[in-house]
Amino acid sequence: MSSDGVVRVLHVDDDREFAEVAATHLERADEGLDLVTEFSARDGLARLRSSAVDCVVSDHDMPGMDGLEFLKAVREEFGDLPFVLFTGKGNEEIASDAISAGVTEYLQKDVGTDQYTVLANRIRRAVGENRAKSALQ
């Protein structure tokens, strides 16, 4: 979270149309979120290496490297960076694997715009908790 209270969010989703809609609704739900979008986990990792990001939001079902593989790569390289798995193809096995891999939040994509308010709140909470933990260390 920058000094102006803005939270920089990297959203990774291979569905460009969904990613654009999600960015619009998330920024409407919380004007303090600054979203940048990548369309593959590999591009997401490249973005993380080159830009300051407070939280990652990622789809699960992506070609090349899925959301869980991306989560594991982020954990290896960026430690406790808040990571929200935001997936349309969720099930208990994916949720369990995500929790085992250290996901911060797990949220299933839904219809309608209410889900973006929930997602924005979870991003804020995850970043706030991460900041508090960092401040204590």
Per-residue pLDDT of 59-108, as tens digits, reads 999 999 999 999 999 999 999 999 999 988 778 888 899 999 999 999 99
Cβ(69)–Cβ(42) below 8 Å: no
Cβ(12)–Cβ(41) below 8 Å: yes
Tell if the pTM clears 0.85, that is, is over it: yes
Report the residue count for the chain: 137
Which long-range contacts (C-beta less than 8 Å, at least 24 apart) are formed by 112-115?
113/25, 113/28, 113/29
Q: What is the reported pLDDT for 76?
A: 96
The per-residue pLDDT of the chain, averaged, comes to 92
Q: What is the reported pLDDT for 4?
A: 64
pLDDT reading at 3 higher than 70: no
